[in-house]
Amino acid sequence: MNSPDGTRQWGLFGAAGLLLRAPRSGGGAVVLMQHRAPWSHQGGTWALPGGARDSHETSAVAAVREAHEEAGIDPEAVRVRGSRVTATAPSGWTYTTVIADIAEPVATTANPESAALAWVPEEQVDARPLHPGFAAAWPLLRAEAARLALDGLGDTTDATRIAETLPRTVDLADQGFFWLHGNGSSGREARIAGASPGLGDSTDNVLYITVEQLLF
């Protein structure tokens, strides 16, 4: 698509990419990254699997499809957690980054658009030569680690269901993304809130999350 400012974007109906996280052995998260083929736009840089949306697709459907085509990721294994529009153009074109989780860093299969694929520790993502668009968006997409004290939930159905979902990405809108895990020593403290979520006071810096957000 051509924009009034003379730039060109790929995809008549916009484009989407998948930021896929998986638990890392020993704690933390890894992110699936694509080393773009030399012949592609910004070839040689690292970014996310992604591409043009079809006319009938949502951004989430397009992003998951592209990850299947470019990295061999089984769509049934992907759990979408949120999304952000991370690029726009005067033509109305948008690029949406879809954030999702998978239970483990599965084996990948590259197609010709990928020079390589890698599961990269989250804190090491920006140490690689990134595609400029992804580099600009990464501060909005990265997840802060947070630990939820499961032993304080008691023996309830919700406690069991929450424990089964962890670790996972939680999207708290203006507060950003958090990689939430169970009992442990790393990351910011998180607690279950009985009302609307929000930050605790500045003295304890506790993250409050509702049961509904955890079970989404």
Host domain of residue 151? 144-215
Q: How many structural domains is the chain composed of?
A: 2
User: Which of 106, 141, 176 is where one domain is finished?
Assistant: 141
Residue 96 inside a domain? The answer is: yes
Please check whether residues 116 and 152 belong to one and the same domain: no
pTM for this structure? 0.87
Per-residue pLDDT tens listing for the chain (216 residues): 544 454 554 556 789 999 999 999 888 999 999 998 866 767 789 999 999 999 999 999 999 999 999 999 999 999 999 999 999 887 888 999 999 999 999 999 999 888 899 999 999 999 999 999 999 999 999 999 999 877 656 556 677 888 888 999 999 998 999 999 986 667 888 888 764 444 443 336 888 888 888 887
User: Which of 112, 141, 170 is where one domain is finished?
Assistant: 141
Q: If you write DSSP's letter for every residue of the chain in order, what string do you get?
A: -B-TTS-B-S-TT-EEEEEEEEEPTTSSEEEEEEEE-TTSTTTT-EE-SEEEPPTT--HHHHHHHHHHHHH---GGG-EEEEEEEEEE-TTS-EEEEEEEE-SS-------TTEEEEEEEEGGGGGGS-B-HHHHHHHHHH-EEEEEE-GGGS-S-HHHHHHHHH-SEEEE-GGG-EEEEESSSSSSEEEEEESSS--B--TTT--EEEEHHHHH-
